[in-house]
Amino acid sequence: MKIEKHKILKERLNSSMTKKTIALLLALLLTGILYACDSVPDTSDINSDSIVSETGSPSDPTDTFLSLIQNGEYQNAVNLYTASIAGNATREHEAEDLLRNYCIDVCNNLLGNQCDTAQAETAMTTVRHIVEETGLLSSEYETLFNDVQAATASKAAFAAAEELKALKNYADAIASYRKVLKTDADYNTAQNGLSECTTLWKEAVFSEASGLADKKDYLGALALLDEMSEVLTEDNEITVKRTVYVKSYIDMIVSDANAVFVTPEKDYAKALEKINAALQHYPENEELNTQKEYYSSFAPLNLYDANPVRGEASTQETDTDTYGNAYEKSFWAGYSGMIWNETDLTFDLSKSYNTFSAVIYGRSNKIETQNMTLEIYADGNILYQRADIADNTTNPYTIELDVTGVSELRIFMGRGRGAIGSGIGMTEIFVQRTVK
């Protein structure tokens, strides 16, 4: 029966079909094939040859699964997975391998300039949806995604570096070139750009710094070098130039300090001011610290604030003399009520000072005059002595003594003949180095 039907059909075809009809049918068939090819999205931007199943067939659901991923049809891919892959351990494993390798290819294609960042982002968005809805690669997706993000950052860094270089913003260009990954197809170009920017930037900065140094603006020159060294951290040429400018700056400051140091008791402070200003920039500099110690040695020392090696003193933070003049930080001797007070102190000068000075004043407002004694010793030898200092009539006066080479200085203030009054005081008690 089948044969008879076939025979009748053949006869009908022979009798009714003409060459023109056959030609028309072939044309229609060809048109349909071409339309079907045109309707498939173009996926050539991302190379996925490596992830096509070698054993799959056109009807294999894992192959279709991959095609849907490539086309960005994540919902259809999810539906296919649920209907034809889930529950089949072999297919699940194969689908997961396909998805993993697809992510790897996206990353490699991006680094190899075979797709752009927008395409890569779209591809990984598709993968993310599939991961969320199928559970495939749930433990690996973040790592794979981060790899693509790193590749994206590398491409962005290269593009930015090229633009910054064109704008002659060499510092930022260098920083961007350094972010380009070694696996990036643009890595070698980035390295060449990095080298070129480094050379051009150094030439420009060195020239500007040299101009500032010629004007003795060493801090300005050093600021430029320090800014550059924050980027070029291990550049020996910068280190060498910086060392030269630092030395030039220190030498200038030392010279300037010495120039103002004419009369030590007046100008040591100006010298210290210059040294201390430089120490703000270079606090560990040995030469500056040596100079600070030297000039500080000329500062007067108030013995009221010093620690004696022996003896005791009657002291007053504030005091008033016979004539109503006020003083601060005084030694004194005399009566306070019915109690006698005196001062007998020894200080270690270590042969470091040249002058001793002090102001002497009476402390009594009584009518009757009482005489007080003041004695000053240098290494046991009397240096100054007066036994008739009136407690109520003595006008304030200054004593100045040479203490050059003195190791120990003793100050004694006590009662004179028949003294029972308020006594005398000593203030502004200074020793000072004056010899260079």
**How many Å apart are CA 45 and CA 70, to the nearest integer?**
10
Block residue for tokens 């591809």: 123
What are the residues whose beta carbons fall under 8 Å from the beta carbon of 387, sequence distance 6 or more? 371, 372, 373, 416, 417
**How many Å apart are CA 251 and CA 357, to the nearest integer?**
35
Q: Is the pLDDT confidence value at 43 over 50?
A: no
Q: Is 190 exposed, middle or buried (0-12, 13-18, 19+ CB in 10 A)?
A: buried
Q: Is the pLDDT confidence value at 221 over 90?
A: yes
pTM above 0.85?
no
The 3-state DSSP class for residue 53 equals coil
The mean pLDDT of 344-372, rounded to a whole number, is: 92
Provide the token pair at 57: 């067939």
Count CB neighbours of 88 within 10 A: 13
Distances (CA, A) of 389 to 300, 371, 382, 398: 26, 5, 17, 13
* Terminal Cα distance for the chain, rounded: 137
- pLDDT the model gives residue 417: 55
Q: How confident is the model at residue 23 (pLDDT cuts 50, 70, 90)?
A: very low
**How many Å apart are CA 125 and CA 147, to the nearest integer?**
14
Query: Quick one: the chain helix, strand, coil %, rounded to 5?
Result: 55, 20, 30
Q: Give pLDDT tens digits for 385-423.
A: 999 898 888 899 999 999 999 999 999 998 765 556 678
What strands, in cross-sheet order, belong to the sheet with 310-312?
Answer: 310-312, 343-348, 408-415, 371-378, 381-390
Provide the token pair at 372: 């007080």
| Fold (CATH) for 302-432 | Jelly Rolls (2.60.120)
Q: Is the pLDDT confidence value at 51 over 70?
A: no
Q: How confident is the model at residue 59 (pLDDT cuts 50, 70, 90)?
A: low
- pLDDT the model gives residue 287: 97
Count CB neighbours of 64 within 10 A: 17
Q: Is the pLDDT confidence value at 170 over 90?
A: yes
Provide the token pair at 43: 């996926």
Q: Is the pLDDT confidence value at 178 over 90?
A: yes
Q: Is the pLDDT confidence value at 99 over 80?
A: yes
- What 8-state DSSP symbol labels residue 300? -
